[in-house]
Structure 1
Amino acid sequence: TQSESQLTDSKIACSSRFVTELRAVLIGRQHCGKTSVINTILETRTEAEGDEDVKREGFIDGRRVSLVETPGWWKTFSLSDLSNLSKQQLVRRISLISPGPHAVLIVIRADSAFTDPDGRFLDEYVELLGPNVWTHTLVIFTRGDLIKTEVIEQRIQEEGSALKRLIEKCENKYHVFNNSNHHDRTQVEELFNKIEGIVRKNNGNNQELISPQSNSPDHQQGYKMARLAKSVPEGQGCPGCKT
């Protein structure tokens, strides 16, 4: 209806002026730089990655920013190597952001190769979060100080590369981070602008991670895991899976 259309247009217009709250989750393998990204965004200096640090919040440039760090995995892992408990803890971590994240940030080291097995693992892992998750995803390349942006762009454009396929699934949304320069707020503001673009494109909606209405077997499995995750104490289990 016209009134609903006007309401949506107003919501988008409001988002385009300024988003006052941003919620995001960070996904990536071990030692990819998730904690460094959060430190740079929130201007903090947390060194250890413990269970008490999985959700961190702050007010940045007038925005309330909530960030959740999900468990990492070893580079050699396939999805079959992760136990159901590990997957439950992934869902549990993300459920800490209510009603859900605006963005899912896939963190990859710019100075590390991204292979076909890496791509297949991420495809399956990210899709545990819901069938529409890719409209909310953005790739963050860490260690941007060690490799030129032009080199990253060249790797992305390589025909048939796993990295190119991932970026295309993320609708060509990516950002390069220099984690060694915590005082460079320009890169943080640019990241916020890209996340706000995700918010606008999704009409201000967050990613609804788990829904019992989906008929997808994988999504139904995710819904069951989400229910089970409520009974899993944080920090218990997760063999081979580490923050």
Structure 2
Amino acid sequence: ELRVLLVGWRGAGKSSAGNLLLGCHAFESGRPTEVSVRHQALVAGRRLTVVDTPGWDWFSVQRTPSNIRREIKLGAGLLHPGPHALLLVIPVVSSLTPKKRQALKSHLEMFGEEACQHTLVLFSCGDWLYGTSIEDHIQRDGGELLKLMQHCWNCYHVLDCTKANKDRSQVTELLRKIVEMVAENGQKPFLPVKLNQELDEEETSGRCILQ
């Protein structure tokens, strides 16, 4: 079994990425996600559980409403005993500025100091690369993507939703990378003690949708 949490900016393509991973239209895309939603499916012979979370602000963790930050944390709680990986969804067409990179880092720190070790950067809108390799794209970005990659231990993958029904190998390869990352982390799920305590203190009734 693999349990993954989709996180990232508003409009980054998290729901579409979740649908591509599961191989079905599980999450509603095209409109803002308001609450954390869980779905699962059998993918490549493995049970995959995915939680889609509300998007956070592009520029500052302080600008992300407290109820949204809480909902994202509650989303992690839907993956008991904890997610194996955080998938940080970033549109490949987005330019990453120092301010945006710092905002991403600050949002990830909601899950604790070790979050970066369990994070894989998932580039959405891969068709916009137009044949350019993701490695060349990272190099051309001007340094900010390189810094983000280093922060996340150089774990990344590209998804092209236009090939969702034609090329499942991109999903199989992503699962392989997640399994490899989990192995490097000692096969243990990730859920900080601090987050466990916060979830115990929260009244979760009516906040999350379990499906």
The offset of 1:111, in angstroms, is 1.2
Q: Deviations over 1:157-200 (max 9, x none)?
A: 35862211111111111101101111211100100100000111
Which among 48, 68, 91 is matched to residue 28 of structure 2?
A: 48
What pairs with 1:74-153 in structure 2 (closer than 5 Å)?
A: 74-75=57-58, 77-148=59-130, 150=132, 152-153=134-135
Structure 1, 152-161 or 140-149: larger mean CA deviation: 152-161
Q: Distance in 2 between matches of 1:189 and 1:195?
A: 10
Which among 4, 9, 13 is matched to residue 33 of structure 1?
A: 13
Unaligned 5+ segments in structure 1 are 1-20, 213-221, 236-243
Q: Distance in 2 between matches of 1:56 and 1:159?
A: 34
Amino acid at match of 2:202: A
Higher Rg = 1
CA RMSD of aligned residues (A): 2.3
- Check the 8 A contact 1:92/1:230 in 2, yes or no: no
Q: Does 1:226 align with 2:199?
A: yes
Higher relative contact order (CA 8 A, sep 6+): 1
The 3-state SS of whatever aligns with 1:180 is helix
Q: Deviations over 1:68-126 (max 9, x none)?
A: 11110343x41111233322211111100000011100000011211111111111110
- Check the 8 A contact 2:56/2:69 in 1, yes or no: no
Amino acid at match of 2:199: A
Instruction: Give the TM-score normalised by the residue count of structure 2.
Output: 0.87
- Check the 8 A contact 2:40/2:47 in 1, yes or no: yes
Q: Distance in 2 between matches of 1:150 and 1:73?
A: 28
Unaligned 5+ segments in structure 2 are none
Q: State the match for 1:197 in structure 2.
A: 180
Structure 1, 26-35 or 147-156: larger mean CA deviation: 147-156
- Deviating above 6 A after TM superposition, structure 1's stretches of 4 or more consecutive aligned residues are none
- Check the 8 A contact 1:110/1:142 in 2, yes or no: yes
Q: Deviations over 1:117-176 (max 9, x none)?
A: 111111111011122111111001111111146353234235862211111111111101
